[in-house]
Amino acid sequence: MSIVAMLLLVFGQVDLPLTPAAQYGPAGSFVNIELRAEATTPQSVAAIDAILSWDPAELQLIGPEAGTFSWFVAGFLPDPDGINASVSDGDALYTALSPPATPLVVPPNIVVVSFKFKILTGGEVTLLPSMGTFGKTRVVSTTPGVEITGNIGGPVCVGIPGTWTDLGRGIPGTFGQPVLTGSGEQACAALTTISLTSAKPSSVAYLPVGISLLNLPLKGGVLVPSLDIIIIVATSPAGDVTLQGPWPPGIPLGFSIYYQYWIKDPGAIKGWTASNGLRSTTGI
């Protein structure tokens, strides 16, 4: 076992997570991302360094706000690597020093600092393990020469929520008008749900999904989406279908997707019933 591993077993570790994992707001609004210090066994901390990283075209750093501990000195202090020569370029080194006579002891876990950001287009914030020659994300023990750094925060996401719009154009059938609804923020891999209700029970249902409007007259109604993808599912004995999954990455702001279910139904005007058309549009 290495000397470092033995020291960690003796001294324990302090994790530095970023929270919350995801949050949302309109462009121009503000969010706060917390840097926390967490441990499972008592740890005495002399200092914490955290290299924060983000895309300044997506998020604008407004500044740090006090956490739950009164530090001796804390902030974006001058550093030998020049990381803090500008704290608006997407990288910044935050340093917090404990009072020499009364150093921080965790647990209880604390908020080290809260970083306030303005949302431009939405993006991610993370901690870099190191930068330059001397810059390092770390927790320094009050025992001289000992670092007790545990896990450091992975990316947290800030997103602009999208909208869901009912476009109508459905065809009623034996069991009335099938209703298609959607929910989810359309950002930050948020859970996205598309639900069909009031459809013909235990039937094959076709879900065209398109990136443009087709609005083609069909079977006494209107086929709303372009036919880029067609998903085939079965309705439940209650005439319902629910599809869920994380919102996919890489979809640009202001992008729309169109959905509409079609089901064979002898009770419909021309043998087919259709849900209302539905549009999801990412935030702008």
Task: Label residue 266 by pLDDT band (50, 70, 90).
Answer: very high
Stretch 236-250: mean pLDDT: 96
For residues 251-255, average pLDDT? 96
**Residue 167 contacts residue 240 (beta carbons within 8 Å):** no
Q: Is CATH 2.60.40.680 correct for 3-158?
A: yes
Sorted by sequence, the CB contacts under 8 Å of residue 250 that are 6+ apart come out as none
Band (pLDDT 50/70/90 cuts) for residue 1 is very low
* pLDDT value at residue 11: 58
pLDDT digits (tens, 9 = 90+) for 154-172: 899 999 999 999 999 999 9
Q: What would the pLDDT profile of 45-85 be if each residue is shown by its tens digit?
A: 999 999 999 999 999 999 999 999 999 999 999 999 999 99
- State mean pLDDT over 204-219: 98
- What are the Cα distances from residue 35, in Å, to 96, 105, 107, 186? 11, 16, 15, 25
> Residue 5's pLDDT band (boundaries 50, 70, 90)?
very low
Q: Where are the domains of the chain?
A: 3-158, 163-281
Domains 3-158 and 163-281 belong to one CATH topology: yes
- The answer to whether 174 touches 39, Cβ cutoff 8 Å, is no
Q: Is the pLDDT score of 8 beyond 80? A: no
Is-above-0.85 flag for pTM?
yes
Whole-number Cα distances in Å, 131 to 46, 64, 77, 247: 21, 20, 15, 32
Q: What number of other Cβ atoms are within 10 A of residue 228's Cβ?
A: 13
Percent of the chain with pLDDT over 70: 96
pLDDT of amino acid 12: 85
3-state secondary structure of 219: coil
CATH class of 163-281: mainly beta
Percent of the chain residues past pLDDT 90, beyond the cut: 95
Is pLDDT at 6 greater than 70 in this prediction? no
Over residues 217-246, mean pLDDT: 97
Going by pLDDT thresholds of 50, 70 and 90, the confidence category of residue 9 is: very low
Going by C-beta distance under 8 Å and a sequence separation of 6 or more, which residues neighbour residue 153? Answer: 16, 17, 18, 19, 35, 126, 127
SS3 63: strand
Rounded to the nearest integer, the mean pLDDT of the chain is 95
For residue 122, CA distances in Å to 182, 258, 260, 275 come to 22, 23, 29, 33
The pLDDT assigned to 39 comes to 98
Grouping H, G, I as helix, E, B as strand and the rest as coil, residue 44 is strand
pLDDT surpassing 90 at residue 107: yes
> What would the pLDDT profile of 14-44 be if each residue is shown by its tens digit?
999 999 999 999 999 999 999 999 999 999 9
Q: What residue type is 121 in one-letter code?
A: T
